[in-house]
Structure 1
């Protein structure tokens, strides 16, 4: 399934060769001030500094591929690298919907443990079948924002049209009585502006970098209680990586290791830092309580979790592996 041909990726590298140097193309949907672009730039800068005849050209803000269309070109070797919310590819691989499952991740340190767990290894094996490998692991937390009333508990979204980022969240919100409008976070500003959306979930980073504080009346940020955690790694085409020299591979791995540590520390800061731009814009700030979280989690178990186990033959095994990470 989606297995790319080695020759395709080899051609992708070959056309970027210039006087013996290799240039890789990295595409993502995010604005240049976003943490995910900063991670890409860090890796690109460190690889350049390693002086191994390897460079990375970054195409931000969906300038090369549309937000939802990064994964398939990556699997085919038409794209070398991306920073990508993996659940966006849940249509190709329903197992990826676990990377945005309500309440599965407790906090950022729990997310870091998830990144090094047998659960993540199982997901990486699935990616490898698609000729994709992970360079930088990373989860971001997020919250709710609304043009109407504050959202903290399930009944608050009833009757609203909501953007949720992934299938599992959409299923939970539908269970709460919301209508769903699917779109990447990069399109949510226009969705809010045009009245297509009344509310949305996204990461703390996207709420700020896409200036969504200009469009909403209430913001419920991730805090001690965060329902929304989404896995958003830096990926590379596996055949492309294997076609690099050992020195180039080592430079990429070293840069990725440094970027991953930075990603985790910055992700922890961004939840609280996201509040200030909303306050400056006059947006009301709400807070989700542990009781609210429990109500959402119970609803998710009846909707998202149940649907996942129906859709994925090995779903229970994967879910058990995720729950084993404490």
Structure 2
């Protein structure tokens, strides 16, 4: 007689448990979660890497504006996948989102090497004008055909960290092992008499500390975030002239994009575009802060003048520009469209 009431009680408790869980289950089923991976250090405080901050802002605003129906999980410091795997993963849809130096994908999509072509972009304002110009429309078409879509246009100027003397003129690079960032920069380095070494910015510190590299070209933010001042004796800043401008957009894979509702697509597009002023502000701030950080470490801080810049441009046109025009499908047409943006 005592077993029936006990069984009834257990049955009632189980039923109540399922009823309590039901709303959460429905909510979980209605929530889409996307993973965002990038190579940059996690941001800690206002002086942290603005690219991680941009990812965090994007995630927070998307969640808020979709009422929690879309959530973004962020994996900084290549903690989800290796840096060089992210471009391919976006194309295949095995990664949903990334803040990615687009030129890293030049081996798979040669056209994207245009986004780190030496001296092609010479200011943030010029870079952002690509977005509505024919070159930007064509770039977006190419990327979407290859499996990814631009949400936030992010350009970054960069400088040169050296283990020895400052590098401002091409002759200063002769005989040095230098990291460029992609094929275009490698051609420039080789053309100046250096020996180009290709590796992601997250690996520069180790390479410079062990002597694998004598110098490295990378963005101002990476020169700071990866603490290259600890292994460098000098830096050439991007405060004035620089031939190094890289496109590092926030990208979404087309597979992830197609899983979103039309309303969610509208939100991620609007939020992505709204963060572009934040990206410009962060990049410009780091161009100035770079000098302060390296000076505080006792490193020599220099800027590039117009005469030196002109020398680099001449070498770029004979090496990187020529190679792109001759070896990339529609290369000359793409170069012409990019050069038309003033």
Fold match by TM threshold 0.5: yes
Conservation of the 8 A alpha-carbon contact between 2:240 and 2:303: no
Instruction: Name the CA distance, whole Å, in 2 between partners of 1:158 and 1:234.
Output: 35
Q: If the length of structure 1 is used for normalisation, what is the TM-score?
A: 0.93
Asked if residue 251 in structure 1 is aligned to residue 261 in structure 2, the reply is no
Asked if residue 150 in structure 1 is aligned to residue 166 in structure 2, the reply is yes
How far off its partner does 1:88 sit? 0.3
Where do residues 20-99 of structure 1 align in structure 2 (5 Å cutoff)? 20-32=30-42, 33-50=48-65, 51-99=67-115
How far off its partner does 1:197 sit? 0.5
Moved more, 242-251 or 125-134: 242-251
Name 1:176's counterpart in structure 2.
192
Q: If the length of structure 2 is used for normalisation, what is the TM-score?
A: 0.89
Any idea what SS the aligned residue of 1:152 has?
coil
Where do residues 281-320 of structure 1 align in structure 2 (5 Å cutoff)? 281-320=297-336
Moved more, 242-251 or 202-211: 242-251
| Count of aligned pairs | 310
More helix by share: 2
How far off its partner does 1:245 sit? 1.4
Instruction: Pick the structure with greater CA Rg.
Output: 2
Q: Which has the higher contact order (CA 8 A, sep 6+)?
A: 1
How far off its partner does 1:54 sit? 0.6
Where do residues 150-299 of structure 1 align in structure 2 (5 Å cutoff)? 150-299=166-315
How far off its partner does 1:18 sit? 2.9
- Give the gaps of 5 or more residues in structure 2: 1-26, 43-47
Conservation of the 8 A alpha-carbon contact between 2:153 and 2:273: no
How far off its partner does 1:116 sit? 2.5
Measured on the aligned residues, the alpha-carbon RMSD in Å equals 1.2
How far off its partner does 1:52 sit? 4.3
Deviating runs (4+, > 4 A) in structure 1? Answer: none
How far off its partner does 1:313 sit? 2.9
